[in-house]
């Protein structure tokens, strides 16, 4: 199995704070990697650096053997990396279905020259709409399709954010707390979809999630980040046995 | 008798409305859809006016071999040209077509350049930037005499004079049809995936970049082609007035009024924009006709239109910030049950 994403000695500074401090990690193809750590430990910053939202100060990021360090977010997405946000980054005054159609990336009607000619984009738009219907049904929000996104509840917004994943063709997905504020049944369902997407479509996932009770069952590998540095790494069984994890992240073990 | 007075009045108002429709619907695409707060709309409009001031008449003087200076002997040249144009259909039509293309080119170049320079700015700062740019261009136009006659402006020949007695009606039809074609183009764009993309830029630019769209290039495109259409509005205004005075392309007439039209009608809705434009034009016309009956007011009636403009802005902001026809939630067609069969 090849390595799809490789991060080498990455550093991101905000003033004097080294939010990500010399982090190196690898994500093998078709794997689900979990990033955990206390709040403010640099997990999201790391994902943002990979997605191009922040420019790293030092270090390199390789995706499929290509150097993507410091590229623009849209370029990185078009190479096949998708990031979802912890706080849903959606389009408030557009309807749910319009949001989903925006999540669909390759509509030719989004070119100005094609926009005037319905014939040129109708076919792809129909495909996108079919995908949208399936996605809405999968996430059980099909009754909300014509509501504006800002009329949804917090959990539904989270689902809308997650639907970016289902609408896209990305090979590497960076998920920032995908199941925070989602009920346990649906949360397990989402992780089942993630596993399915990995198995059937060959996608790779890097996930930041605090709800270990749900997430741990599904992941292959865990990195623990503390103060921007990697504290420990390994398979779930290994990492959960480590004493230092309980000291910095989970509640201290009873003595 | 009534018809004879009212018809020209109606057509005159309609041309006024149609030309303003270009301004307001362009602004609607920039501000209502894409969220580019362009307070300096008039730089694009005046660029069209400068093109028609500087280009076709000079060309005509050169083509006919008239040995006179077009700017400093303006009135004389214009009357000579009118005589020539009366017997020659080809030259004025040809010049007019060239003017339209040149105006669109200049408008779009200016739109591109100024948008490129302001890419990092958003909202208020962007609005102020565009206002400053437009004011600077206006000051340049007012003081650089070879461009449009400087502070005095220049007269234009009548490009439709060869049509004889039909001249006025053909010209008016022309002034009405072109804006509606432009409006139809905007409406088509708004209903396409590109229109949806524009609204998404307005809502959350960073999120859209993280979905693989180059928002900067889209914004540049929007400003470039709306500026080209706005330049056409400038050409039409000048043709209608048959003169170009740089000072008349000011922020009140060609930025604040279109802004009110868009806000009153409903930003992000072309039909609303049409309605807003219509209401504003009618109000302006009524004020224009009636203001001399209002001499008893404690203010100089010269400023009545401005006072109403400010008042209307405040009322819209307080009572109807979303406009008369608010932006619709776009329905995805195949999701409606009746369409699902097909």
What is the SS3 assignment for A203-253? CEEEEECCCHHHHHHHCCEEEEEECCEEEEEECHHHHHHCHHHHHHCCCCC
Residue B1 has pLDDT above 70, yes or no: no
Looking at this predicted complex, what is its ipTM? 0.86
Dump pLDDT digits (tens) for A173-212.
999 888 877 888 888 888 888 898 888 888 899 999 888 8
Task: Give percent of chain A with pLDDT exceeding 90.
Answer: 17
Mutate: best of A110, A130, A142, partner B, most B CBs <10 A: A110
Q: Which two tokens stand for residue A96?
A: 């749910």
Average pLDDT over residues A10-26: 90
Does position B340 have pLDDT exceeding 50, yes or no? no
Mean pLDDT over each residue of chain A, to the nearest integer: 87
> pLDDT band for position B338 (50/70/90)?
very low
Chain A: closest CA distance from residue B3 (Å): 40
Mean pLDDT of chain B: 89
User: Residues of A with CB below 8 A from B192's CB?
Assistant: 109, 114-116, 118, 121
Interface with chain A: mutation pick from B201, B210, B225, highest number of A CBs within 10 Å: B210
b/e per residue, B181-215, with b = 16+ CB within 10 A?
ebbebbbbbbebbbbbbbbbbbbbbebbbbbbbeb
Listed residue (A223, A214, A222) closest to A193, CA to CA: A214
Closest among A104, A124, A85, A90 to B213, alpha carbons compared: A104
| Ordered structural domains, chain A, with CATH | 1-80+170-255 (3.40.50.300), 90-168 (no CATH)
Confidence grade of residue B332 (pLDDT, cut at 50, 70, 90):
low
- Whether A219 has its CB under 8 Å from any CB of chain B: the answer is no
- A83 CB neighbours in chain B (<8 A) are 210
What's the pLDDT at B337? Answer: 47
Q: What is the C-alpha separation between B11 and A117, in angstroms, rounded? A: 33
CB distance B255 to B302 below 8 Å:
no
Per-residue pLDDT tens digits for B90-139: 999 999 999 999 999 999 999 999 999 998 887 889 999 999 999 999 99
Q: What is the DSSP letter of A95?
A: B
Instruction: Please choose, from the candidates A111, A95, A167, A128, the residue with its C-alpha nearest in 3D space to the C-alpha of residue B192.
Output: A111
Band of residue B334 on the pLDDT scale cut at 50, 70, 90: low
Q: Say whether residue A112 is in contact with chain B using an 8 A CB cutoff.
A: yes
Inter-chain CB proximity B195 and A77 less than 8 Å = no
B-facing residues of A in 145-174 (CB < 8 A) are 145-148, 164, 168
Q: What is the pLDDT of residue A113?
A: 87
Rounded to two decimals, what is the model's pTM? Answer: 0.89
When pLDDT is averaged across residues A63-80 and rounded to a whole number, the result is: 90
The beta-carbon neighbor of B189 closest among A73, A94, A115 is A115
Site from A82, A85, A102 to mutate, B interface, most B CB atoms within 10 angstroms: A102
Give Dmax (Cα) for chain B.
Answer: 72
Answer whether B193 sits within 8 Å of A74, measured CB to CB: no
Residue in chain B closest to A108 (alpha carbons) equals: B193
Q: What is the mean pLDDT of residues B142-166?
A: 89
pLDDT band for position A170 (50/70/90)?
confident
Q: Is B134 helix (H, G, I), strand (E, B) or coil?
A: helix
Neighbour tally for A116: CB within 10 Å: 15
Q: Which residues of chain A have a CB within 8 Å of the CB of B333?
A: 129
């Amino acid at each position: 199995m090849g390595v799809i994403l490789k991060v080498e000695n990455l550093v991101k500074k905000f003033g004097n704070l080294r939010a990500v401090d010399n982090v190196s990690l690898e994500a093998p193809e078709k794997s689900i990697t979990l990033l955990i750590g206390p709040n403010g430990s640099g997990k999201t910053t790391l994902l943002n650096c990979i997605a191009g939202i922040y420019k790293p100060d030092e270090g390199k990021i390789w995706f499929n053997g290509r150097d993507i360090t410091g590229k623009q977010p849209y370029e990185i997405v078009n190479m096949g990396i998708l990031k979802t946000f912890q706080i849903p980054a959606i389009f408030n005054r557009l309807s749910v279905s319009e949001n989903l159609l925006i999540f669909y990336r390759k509509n030719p009607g989004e070119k100005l020259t094609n926009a005037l000619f319905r014939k040129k984009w109708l076919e792809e738009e129909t495909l996108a709409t079919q995908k949208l219907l399936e996605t809405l049904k999968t996430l059980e929000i099909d009754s909300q399709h014509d509501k504006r996104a800002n009329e949804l509840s917090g959990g539904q917004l989270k689902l809308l954010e997650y639907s970016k994943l289902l609408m896209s063709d990305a090979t590497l997905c960076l998920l920032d707390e995908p199941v925070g504020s989602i009920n346990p049944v649906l949360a397990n369902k989402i992780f089942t979809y993630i596993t399915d997407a990995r198995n059937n479509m060959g996608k790779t996932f890097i996930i930041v999630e605090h709800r270990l009770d749900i997430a741990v069952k599904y992941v292959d590998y865990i990195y623990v980040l503390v103060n921007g540095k990697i504290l420990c790494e390994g398979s779930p069984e290994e990492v959960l046995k480590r004493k230092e994890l309980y000291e910095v992240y989970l509640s201290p073990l009873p003595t | 008798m009534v018809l004879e007075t009212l018809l020209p009045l109606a057509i005159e108002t309609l041309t006024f409305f149609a030309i303003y429709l270009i301004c307001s619907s362009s602004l609607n695409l920039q501000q209502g859809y894409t969220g580019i707060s362009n307070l300096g709309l008039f730089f694009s409009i005046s660029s069209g006016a400068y093109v028609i001031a500087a280009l076709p008449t000079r060309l005509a003087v050169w083509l006919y071999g008239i040995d006179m200076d077009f700017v400093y002997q303006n009135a004389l040249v214009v009357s000579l040209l009118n005589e020539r144009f009366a017997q020659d259909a080809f030259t004025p039509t040809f010049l007019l077509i060239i003017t339209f293309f040149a105006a669109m080119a200049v408008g779009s170049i200016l739109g591109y350049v100024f948008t490129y320079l302001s890419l990092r700015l958003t909202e208020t700062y962007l609005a102020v930037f565009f206002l400053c740019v437009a004011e600077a261009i206006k000051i340049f136009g007012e003081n650089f005499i070879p461009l449009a006659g400087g502070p005095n402006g220049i007269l234009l020949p009548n490009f439709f004079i060869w049509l004889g007695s039909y001249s006025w009606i053909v010209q008016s039809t022309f002034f009405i049809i072109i804006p509606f074609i432009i409006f139809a183009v905007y409406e088509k764009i708004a209903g396409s995936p590109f229109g949806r993309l524009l609204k998404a830029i307005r809502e959350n630019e960073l999120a859209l970049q993280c979905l693989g769209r180059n928002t900067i290039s889209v914004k540049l495109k929007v400003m470039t082609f709306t500026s080209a259409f706005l330049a056409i509005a400038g050409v039409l205004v000048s043709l209608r007035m048959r003169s170009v005075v740089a000072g008349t392309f000011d922020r009140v007439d060609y930025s604040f009024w279109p802004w009110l039209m868009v806000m009153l009608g409903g930003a992000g809705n072309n039909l609303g924009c049409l309605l807003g434009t219509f209401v504003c034009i009618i109000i302006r016309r009524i004020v224009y006709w009636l203001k001399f009956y209002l001499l008893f007011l404690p203010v100089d009636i010269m400023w009545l239109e401005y006072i109403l403009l400010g008042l209307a802005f405040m009322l819209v902001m307080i009572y109807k910030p979303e406009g008369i026809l608010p932006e619709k939630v776009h329905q995805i067609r195949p999701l409606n049950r009746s369409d699902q069969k097909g």
